[in-house]
Amino acid sequence: MKAYKKEVQFTIWMTAAFILVGNVGLIFSIFPVDGMLFGFPVMYIVPILMGWFGVFFLTIVAGKIGNRIDDEIDSENDALGVSDEAKDV
Amino acid sequence: MEAQNWQLSNPILGLAVVGATFVLFYVVGFLSNRKSASAKDLYIGGGNVGAFTNGLAMAATYMSLATFLGITALILQLQVPFIMLWIQLILAIPLITIIYGTSLRRMGAFSPTHFIRDRYGVTASIIAALFMILVSIMYALGQMIGIAITFETLLGIPYLTGLFVFGIIIVGYITIGGMAGATNNAAIQMVIIALMFILPLGAIMKAVGATGWYFPPLFYSDMVPAMLESLPTFFDYQFSPKWYFSIIPALTIGALGLPHLAMRVYTASNLKSARSAMVWFAFILGLVFSATYAMGFVGVYATATQGLVISDGDADKLTIILNLVYNPEWVTALVIAGAISAGLSTLSGNLLAIGALISQDIIATLKPNIPERLSLRIGFIAIFAGGLVSILLAIEPPAFLVVSILWAFGLAGVTNAPLIIVGVWWKEANKFGAIAASVVGGAIYIIVSPFVFPSIVLTGHGVTDGMGLSGAMLAVPISFILLIVVSYITNRMPGLQNKLTKQSDIELIERIHGWKDIKSYRYNSTIGAGVTVVVSAAIAIWALMPWGM
């Protein structure tokens, strides 16, 4: 039960985080911001930086958590005493 | 500077560079293809490609001629809103991987349609496959237009000659290469694309006087004051939040249904490798995407401050034109080779997807006992035929090559993505829901597109309707609603029980998530399904309200 809940929650929250980080333009279209950052308008450069480094950071987090959840599913399977034959191909 | 006929003055130089890259691709394709003995080898490269190579290949498949030529053209036309639209396309592989890619990889699926067949049965999978063929052809169409434009600029030959001669050569290469060749080639192509785009961009920036030329993707802020002075509206968002929201159903969800992209996840050697590939993908794609925004910025800057004149018909050539104006010819020749690499890698992904769809998902589904040799041969014929169709469609191209590509995203989002997402995460989804979602959703999307009935559109804003933003904002939620509601009702109709395969569906879902036992509480949330229906209904109603454009 624990690994299942983690898997579902991870997928929902991670998807939401990715969509948010990749669509900062949408947020700025609702809440416009004036000002400059690194010589560019904030509303121009922040979506670009988030769409690169923000997404890159999230892929590292998602990869690590995804691998850990796989391991937990495997250990819950092992606790059932089921053989290993159907393990990940 | 007058508008003019843009082409290389020394086509032999250009041809030599393009020829050399082709020889490289043919050699890699040939060496890899010797190992391509089975259908599995042809389509997913034997399922044993390493993380870094696969990450590069994912990026190259995704980064089509749209990136090389198309984005800069639409930045010239739409300016910053188009950059905002493009940024989220980087989410494709990460979202595919976490939402369903690893599950389908665990299942050993060839393609998303393979999953749909096992999950919803033959009829639903054939309907999905037919839509996916249309998606792949529309996507390939954009590449063909780009390839023809590139050769037009390279050799000064007419568009149609470039389209037929070089279109057929490229389709021939892909037919011979297969996916193993394609994966190794795509990785090489990614390196070529990155170098041939970013280094010449640095030289262009230096020529127009930017001090940050040594890192073009981000260091061009010293050009901002001049840009604001001569074109104060460049950074304006122009459109309402609704327009920015519509990008999510059309392109973010749309990318989840693209057959050629998801197939890259299945080429990973294992799940951990697939997740590492996603990290490489994000890093490299972010780098090149940022460079394309810079190229678009420099293009607008050059037209606004340096007197460069680019006619509407030449917008798709902006990247090449900037190189012709500011760089030596041999650099432009390298850029053209990079553009062709970009088109080639995506086109091979599209055409291989068509091959897999026709031979595996349609013919092998209807006639499971045909020999593998014949199946492989049908695959090769389908790949070639798909290429020919995209060449024929490119005879009268739309105004911007990127429009047909983004429209294809929306169609994939309507007809394919809901079936996979809901199918992986909700046991109740069944074939009646899937068929209703795919057919009705797909029909609505096609009807409200400006290509079939130009008078039936949602916004009247040509590019917004043409890219499928408005259509997908209506049709994607409808597709989710139909899938969930029709499945929920038909599961409770006693007369239909013998037509459903509930037990095998449940076993399949548990297995692809990695479970060895079956628990009724898993992937069975009525509340989750209900929330999805309510949110989808609200979005669909919003899409029907006036857009004010």
- pLDDT of B301 reads 87
Q: Which of residues 401-440 of B touch A (CB under 8 A)?
A: 425
Check pLDDT > 90 for residue B192: no
Are A43 and B87 a contacting pair at CB < 8 A?
no
pLDDT confidence band for B509 (50 / 70 / 90): confident
- Cβ distance of A82 and B517 shorter than 8 Å: yes
Amino acid A88: pLDDT: 45
> Where is pLDDT greater, at B345 or B497?
B497
Grade residue B261 by pLDDT with cuts at 50, 70 and 90: confident
Percent of chain B beyond pLDDT 70?
93
Over residues B197-204, mean pLDDT: 89
**Which residue, among B139, B141, B159, has the nearest Cα to B149 in the 3D structure?**
B159
Domains of chain B in sequence order: 11-26+50-394 (1.20.1730.10)
Contact (CB<8Å) A22/B252: yes
Spans of all domains in chain A? 2-78
Q: How far apart, in whole angstroms, are the C-alpha atoms of residue B133 and residue B350? A: 9
- Closest residue of B to A59, CA-based? B279
- Between B27 and B40, the higher pLDDT residue: B27
- The percent of residues in chain A predicted with pLDDT above 90, rounded, is 56
Core vs surface per residue B510-529: b (16+ CB within 10 A) or e: bebbbbbeeeeebbebeebb
Residue B428, token pair as written in the block: 């109740």
Nearest to A58 among B85, B94, B272 (CB): B94
pLDDT above 50 for A52: yes
The reply to whether residue B106 touches residue A89, judged by beta carbons under 8 angstroms, is yes
Question: Closest chain B residue to A6 measured between Cα atoms?
Answer: B522
Residues of chain B contacting residue A52, judged by C-beta atoms under 8 Å apart:
90, 282, 286-287, 289-290
Interface A-B, measured as beta-carbon pairs within 8 A, has a size of 154
Q: What is the pLDDT at residue A48?
A: 94
Least confident of A71-80, B198-207, B291-300: A71-80
The average pLDDT across B242-268 equals 85
Average pLDDT for residues A34-56, to the nearest whole number?
A: 92
Q: How far is B178 from chain A (nearest CA, A)?
A: 23
Q: What is the pLDDT of residue B193?
A: 80
Largest CA distance in chain A: 61
First-to-last alpha carbon distance for chain B, in angstroms, is: 34
Q: How many CA atoms lie within 13 A of B341 on its CB side?
A: 33
Q: Cα torsion for B486, B491, B496, B501, to the nearest 10°? A: 110
> Which chain A residues are within 8 Å of B90, Cβ to Cβ?
22, 51-52, 55
Residue B386 has φ and ψ, to the nearest 5°, of -60, -40
Mean pLDDT of B86-106: 89
Mean pLDDT confidence for B413-439: 93
For residue B40, the model assigns a pLDDT of: 55
User: Is B455 a residue whose pLDDT tops 70?
Assistant: yes
**pLDDT for residue B46 is more than 70:** no
**Average pLDDT score, chain B:** 84
Residue B34, pLDDT score: 58
Which residues 6+ apart lie within 8 Å of B161 measured at CB?
Answer: none
Q: What is the DSSP string of B171-204?
A: HHHHHHHHHHHHHHHHHHHHHHHHHHHHHHHHHH
Q: Is A74 exposed, middle or buried (0-12, 13-18, 19+ CB in 10 A)?
A: middle
Q: B20-33 pLDDT, tens per residue? A: 887 777 777 667 65
pTM: 0.87
Q: Which pLDDT value is given to residue B4? A: 65
Return the pLDDT at B48: 57
Residue B537's pLDDT band, with cuts at 50, 70 and 90, is: very high
- Mean pLDDT on B108-134: 87
Examine the pLDDT at A87 and tell me if it is beyond 50: no
Burial-class residue B12 by CB neighbours within 10 Å (0-12, 13-18, 19+). exposed
A52–B287 CB contact, under 8 Å = yes
Residue contact B252–A43, C-beta within 8 A? no
CB B190 within 8 Å of CB B59: yes
Q: What are phi and psi of B168, to 5 degrees?
A: -70, -40
In this prediction, residues B117-132 reach a mean pLDDT of 90
**B183 has pLDDT over 90:** no
Q: Which residue of A has its CA nearest to B83?
A: A48
Mean pLDDT to the nearest integer, B390-402: 80
HEC readout, B273-317: HHHHHHHHHHHHHHHHHHHHHHHHHHHHHHHHHCCCCCCHHHHHH
Site from B248, B278, B422 to mutate, A interface, most A CB atoms within 10 angstroms: B278
- Give the span between the Cα atoms of B281 and B457, in whole angstroms: 36
- Residue B53 and residue B301 in contact, taking contact as beta carbons nearer than 8 Å: no
Pick B372 or B400 by higher pLDDT.
B372
Who among B84, B287, B293 is closest to A25 (CB)? B84
Q: How confident is the model at residue A84, as a pLDDT? A: 47
Ramachandran category for residue B453: left, alpha or beta (phi over 0 → left; psi -120 to 50 → alpha): beta
Other CB atoms within 10 A of residue B215 CB: 14
Residues 6+ positions from B88 with CB-CB distance below 8 Å = A19, A22, A23, A51, B247, B248, B251, B252
